[in-house]
């Protein structure tokens, strides 16, 4: 089981072994534990696999954590191309900037669960007609349905 929580200005993604990935909302940096992974490459630490790609000066992060595919999208201002969509593939959890423009990005990626972040996350959630309660911790379970998307308002 993967656990996602919001702590100060970071989103923490913790795998079943307690190893963490940190995503800083302010700097848009990603760390595997204390290891900075803000350059295009493939990384592995603590059982977490990460591939970082750069398209048009925007970094995209794709993880394999406990058999689940997670992506972090840090921008909504890039051209959606086939090359980028192939990189994403089948996504279980998408962490995406919370803007109205990011909804178009989400619609092309088709993730099973989506966590918008940032000051505009309410705009994102309203645009997709989500009005559920805020949660402090989201647990990504093994049995996600491929038919519908689960939206999460992480507090």
Q: Is 5 exposed, middle or buried (0-12, 13-18, 19+ CB in 10 A)?
A: middle
Q: What are the Cα distances from residue 4, in Å, to 12, 65, 104, 143?
A: 6, 12, 24, 16
Do the beta carbons of residue 84 and residue 77 sit within 8 Å? no
**Distance, CA of 9 to CA of 140 (rounded, Å):** 21
Architecture of domain 2-154: 4-Layer Sandwich (3.60)
**Averaged confidence pLDDT in the chain:** 91
Tell me if 9 sits within 8 A of 15, measured CB to CB: no
Rounded distance between C-alpha atoms, residue 70 and residue 13, angstroms: 10
d(CA 45, CA 84): 24
pLDDT tens for 95-119 read 999 999 999 999 998 799 999 999 9
Q: Domain residues of the chain, as ranges?
A: 2-154
pLDDT tens-place string over residues 24-65: 999 999 999 888 998 999 998 878 889 999 998 899 999 999
Give the pTM. 0.94
């Amino acid at each position: 089981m993967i656990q996602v929580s919001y702590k100060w200005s970071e989103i923490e993604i913790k795998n079943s072994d307690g190893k963490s990935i940190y995503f800083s909302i302010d700097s848009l940096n990603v760390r595997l534990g204390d290891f900075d992974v803000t350059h295009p490459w493939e990384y592995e630490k603590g059982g977490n696999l990460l591939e970082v790609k750069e398209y048009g000066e925007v970094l995209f992060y794709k993880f394999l954590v406990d058999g689940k595919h997670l992506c972090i999208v840090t921008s909504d201002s890039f051209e959606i191309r086939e090359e980028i969509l192939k990189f994403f593939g089948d996504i279980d959890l998408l962490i995406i900037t919370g803007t109205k423009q990011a909804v178009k990005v989400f619609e092309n990626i088709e993730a099973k669960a989506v966590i918008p972040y940032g000051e505009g996350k309410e705009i994102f959630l309203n645009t997709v007609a989500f009005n559920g309660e805020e949660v402090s911790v989201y647990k990504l379970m093994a049995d996600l349905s491929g038919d519908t998307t689960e939206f999460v308002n992480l507090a």
